[in-house]
């Protein structure tokens, strides 16, 4: 395998890791605050549809982005209502949200566009186009370093860069701010947070809103960056891979970056069976590569490779003492 092929695979890895990364960080914020969210998938899907649909109608990807994020935050609001206000089962609520999104997107898509549950193809200003970093063309002649710069670092859509910057941002917010400290405390010991006079309910709703925002960006990137338009079920399990990545990362932002890149790499490899065959000289079935993130997560969860301990109060509704 030559260097250029490697760069291509890594380039695809970055593209495919971005939606995982947004969703993974979304889950991180939410679960750190003590709310389990298996509805990442649904929020991502809803956002993908609404961003693509509104971008197609308005011709502006920015209005699309706003619509997508709003849809995702609205679903996050439902999750909050069910799991915080009405103290329902957070897992059941997440499952419900996945179905709501998967049903609604197709129904509305068919009603608005009549194309069998897809949106029209987006082009020009209706999608996030690739950004060429300065000097990319100039440096592309330079072997290795220049090539990497031109192929791997340059030429992604804006949201890819935003996604990677969200990692340090999330780390800073969660581990270096007062809000982050309270958020983590709400996920470990909400009684203590309450005793300190901080409103657990509001804290958790804030976390859920951030989760909605980030899931929204994941969906927007899927439909307007990675692909040019919405097709039904386009999130295709990414929300669950993100959840797997979150556990793999043991609920820490920098680890989340690496686990998302790893799972993105597997996805990229499953697109290039020829590369896998050339490198390993084994006929690895593509399905095995598809399933690898899930298998790895099970192995991690089983505690064979380190131990993944979730936030202690995760999944428990907080009931304030009277």
Partner 1 sequence: MTVLPKWADAILIPLLSILISFVISGLVILYLGLNPFEALRLMVTGALGSSYGWGYTLFYTTNFIFTGLCAAIAFHARLFNIGGEGQATLGGLGVALVCLAVPWPHWTLALPAALIGGALFGAAWAFIPAWLQARRGSHIVITTIMFNYIAAALMVYLLVEILKPEGSMDPATRRFGPGAELPLFSDIFGLVGIPFSSSAPANISFFIALLACLLFWLLVWRTRLGYEIRAYGHSETAADYAGISPVRMIIIAMIVSGALAGCMAINSVMATERLVLNSVEGAGFIGLAVALMGRSHPVGVILAALLFGFLYQGGGELALWANIPRELIILIQGLVILFTGALDNMVRMPLERIFLMIRRPGRQGA
Interface residues toward partner 1, by CB under 8 A: 38, 78, 81-83, 86-93, 95-104, 106-107, 110-111, 114, 117, 232, 237, 240, 243-244, 247, 285, 287-288, 290-291, 294-295, 297-298, 301-303, 310
- Angle of the 238-248 helix axis to the 3-32 helix axis, nearest 10: 80
Looking at the Cβ atoms of 99 and 135, the one nearer to partner 1 is: 99
Looking at the Cβ atoms of 6 and 100, the one nearer to partner 1 is: 100
Smallest distance from partner 1 to CB 65, Å: 24
- Go through the chain and tell me how many residues it has: 322
Query: Rounded CA gap, 240 and 251, in Å?
Result: 15
The total of other beta-carbon atoms located within 10 Å of residue 86's CB is 10
Smallest distance from partner 1 to CB 63, Å: 21
Looking at the Cβ atoms of 159 and 215, the one nearer to partner 1 is: 215
Smallest distance from partner 1 to CB 41, Å: 10
Smallest distance from partner 1 to CB 215, Å: 17
- Partnered with residue 130 across adjacent β-strands are 157
Looking at the Cβ atoms of 1 and 298, the one nearer to partner 1 is: 298
The total of other beta-carbon atoms located within 10 Å of residue 89's CB is 14
Looking at the Cβ atoms of 72 and 154, the one nearer to partner 1 is: 72
Smallest distance from partner 1 to CB 299, Å: 10
Helices (H), strands (E): how many in the chain?
Answer: 14, 2
Looking at the Cβ atoms of 168 and 285, the one nearer to partner 1 is: 285
Query: Rounded CA gap, 103 and 78, in Å?
Result: 16
Query: Rounded CA gap, 106 and 233, in Å?
Result: 9
Smallest distance from partner 1 to CB 9, Å: 20
Smallest distance from partner 1 to CB 87, Å: 6
Residue whose token pair is 């250029």? 4
Q: Are the C-beta atoms of 18 and 220 separated by less than 8 Å?
A: no
Looking at the Cβ atoms of 126 and 268, the one nearer to partner 1 is: 268
* Sign of the CA dihedral with 219 first, then 118, 158, and 235 last: positive
Looking at the Cβ atoms of 30 and 159, the one nearer to partner 1 is: 30
SS (H, E, C) 184-234: HHHHHCHHHHHHCCCCHHHHHHHHHHHHHHHHHHHHHHHHHHHCCCCCCCC
Smallest distance from partner 1 to CB 100, Å: 4
Contacts of 300 (CB under 8 A, 6+ apart): 247, 248, 306, 308
């Amino acid at each position: 395998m030559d260097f250029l092929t490697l760069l291509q695979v890594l380039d695809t890895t970055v593209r495919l890791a971005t939606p995982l990364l947004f969703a993974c960080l979304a889950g991180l914020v939410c679960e750190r605050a003590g709310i389990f969210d298996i509805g990442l998938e649904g929020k991502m899907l809803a956002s993908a549809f609404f961003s693509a649909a509104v971008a197609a109608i308005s011709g502006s990807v920015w209005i699309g982005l706003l619509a997508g994020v709003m849809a995702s935050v609205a679903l996050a609001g439902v999750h909050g209502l069910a799991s915080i206000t009405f103290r329902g089962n957070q897992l059941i609520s997440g499952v419900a949200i996945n179905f709501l999104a998967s049903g609604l997107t197709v129904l509305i898509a068919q009603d608005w566009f009549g194309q069998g549950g897809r949106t029209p193809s987006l082009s020009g200003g209706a999608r996030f186009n690739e950004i060429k970093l300065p000097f990319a063309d100039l440096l592309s002649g330079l072997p290795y370093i220049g090539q990497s710069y031109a192929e791997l670092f340059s030429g992604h859509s804006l949201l890819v860069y935003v996604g990677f910057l969200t990692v340090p941002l999330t780390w800073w917010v969660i581990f270096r701010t007062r809000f982050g400290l309270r958020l983590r405390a709400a996920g470990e010991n909400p009684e203590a947070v309450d005793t300190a006079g901080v409103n657990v309910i509001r804290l958790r709703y804030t976390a859920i809103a951030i989760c909605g925002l980030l899931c929204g960006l994941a969906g927007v990137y899927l439909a307007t960056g990675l692909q040019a338009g919405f097709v039904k079920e386009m999130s295709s399990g990414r929300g669950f891979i993100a959840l797997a990545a979150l556990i793999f990362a043991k609920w820490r932002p920098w680890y989340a970056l690496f686990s998302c890149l790893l799972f993105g790499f597997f996805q990229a490899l499953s697109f290039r069976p020829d590369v896998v065959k050339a490198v390993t000289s084994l006929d690895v079935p593509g399905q095995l590569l598809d399933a690898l993130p899930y298998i790895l997560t099970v192995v991690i969860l089983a505690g064979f490779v380190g131990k993944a301990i979730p936030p202690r109060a995760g999944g428990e509704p907080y009931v304030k003492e009277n």
